Chains A and B, each alone.
Chain A
Amino acid sequence: MRPIAHLNRRYHFSASHRLHVDAISPDRNREMFGKCNNPFGHGHNYVAQVTFSGPVDATTGMVTNLSDLDAFAQRELLDVFDHANLNTLECFRDVVPSTENLCVELWRIFEPYPHANLKRIRVEETGNNSFDYFGEGAPFSHEE
């Protein structure tokens, strides 16, 4: 049996967003989201860390060819999210572009990648906060 390894890759993108929910009052929005509710938005340098697992190919020594993964990430993630206003993206039309929701959206984006199994999405919004998502119903993992 070929050994199973996990491959981790980090992608950087810069985007703006505003945390705001139309269905609740302006006061309640300000109270709930604080400075993240600034009407003009603000931005972050995000890091998306994706973890894929799979058997290590006996010939190439790879879980997946990084050039395939990078091309997928460029097309599906960076071309859409980098230097964008997250609130204007279709996926955030009805949900707040919080980093938690961004994790869930990135799972949806990377899950169909055909060459390895997605295990975790981590999004770092700043150097001091990050969020992990392991997929719907997946057991919580304490792994760093």
Chain B
Amino acid sequence: MILLTRKADFSSAHFYWHDAWTEAENVRVFGKCANRQGHGHNYTLEVTVAGSVDPTSGFVVDLKQLKDILEREVVSVYDHRHLNYEVPEFATTIPTTENIAIAIWRRLEGKIPNAKLHRVRVYEMPDLFADYYGESA
């Protein structure tokens, strides 16, 4: 069994806001992330898959294929977009780093041939990142 990790980058805007709360409550909990004009990050996504090495190709998965899946399922949807307004899963869920990791897991699960999704890691900044190992982990 080999773990294989592929990175991808996307740059997006977001803000943190819970509609049922007053502005003061939102600012108390979310601080400057509650600015409704939004702000942005250069995110780095690391997707780790687990699988066995194909005896012929020597691959766990075809990296080009994995890159194309990440591009199609995540980067083309998230990159240079406002997560709150333009990405459907964040219409009612706050796009925290944790929730982005969970959402990306759900976008990718079952779509990678011959390998099992092992971990989704999302860096919001080099000093802040979230890991998600799926519902059963």
Mark A residues whose CB is within 8 Å of B.
1, 3-12, 51, 56, 59-63, 65-67, 143
Q: A56-B98, A61-B93 are in contact. Are A67 and B132 (CB under 8 A)?
A: no
B130 touches A61 (CB 8 A): no
- Which residues of B have CB within 8 Å of A143? 119
B114 within 8 A of A: no
B128 touches A60 (CB 8 A): no
Q: A10-B126, A62-B98, A63-B98 are in contact. Are A3 and B132 (CB under 8 A)?
A: yes
Q: A3-B102, A6-B130, A9-B127 are in contact. Are A60 and B95 (CB under 8 A)?
A: no
B102 touches A60 (CB 8 A): no
B131 touches A61 (CB 8 A): no
A5 touches B129 (CB 8 A): no
Mark B residues whose CB is within 8 Å of A.
16, 18, 29-31, 93-99, 101-102, 119, 126-133, 135, 137
Pull 21 A–B residue pairs with CB atoms less than 8 Å apart, ordered by A.
Answer: A3-B132, A3-B135, A5-B102, A6-B131, A6-B133, A7-B130, A8-B128, A8-B131, A10-B127, A10-B128, A59-B18, A59-B94, A60-B18, A60-B30, A60-B96, A61-B93, A61-B94, A61-B99, A65-B29, A66-B128, A143-B119
- Which residues of B have CB within 8 Å of A56? 96, 98-99, 102
User: A3 to B131, alpha carbons, bound, how many Å?
Assistant: 11
Among B16, B31, B132, the residue within 8 A (CB) of A5 is B132
Name the prevailing secondary structure of the A interface residues: mixed
- Which residues of A have CB within 8 Å of B137? 4
User: A66 to B102, alpha carbons, bound, how many Å?
Assistant: 18
Q: Which 8 A-B pairs have the closest CB atoms?
A: A61-B96, A6-B131, A61-B94, A10-B127, A61-B99, A5-B98, A8-B129, A56-B98
User: A63 to B99, alpha carbons, bound, how many Å?
Assistant: 10
User: A7 to B124, alpha carbons, bound, how many Å?
Assistant: 11
Q: Tell me the nearest residue of chain B to A11, going by C-beta.
A: B127
The smallest C-beta distance from B69 to any residue of chain A, in angstroms, reads 21
Q: A60-B18, A65-B29 are in contact. Are A7 and B98 (CB under 8 A)?
A: yes
The smallest C-beta distance from B26 to any residue of chain A, in angstroms, reads 10
User: A3 to B99, alpha carbons, bound, how many Å?
Assistant: 9
The smallest C-beta distance from A75 to any residue of chain B, in angstroms, reads 17
A8 touches B95 (CB 8 A): no
User: A51 to B65, alpha carbons, bound, how many Å?
Assistant: 31
User: A6 to B128, alpha carbons, bound, how many Å?
Assistant: 11
A61 touches B95 (CB 8 A): yes
User: A67 to B128, alpha carbons, bound, how many Å?
Assistant: 12
The smallest C-beta distance from B123 to any residue of chain A, in angstroms, reads 9
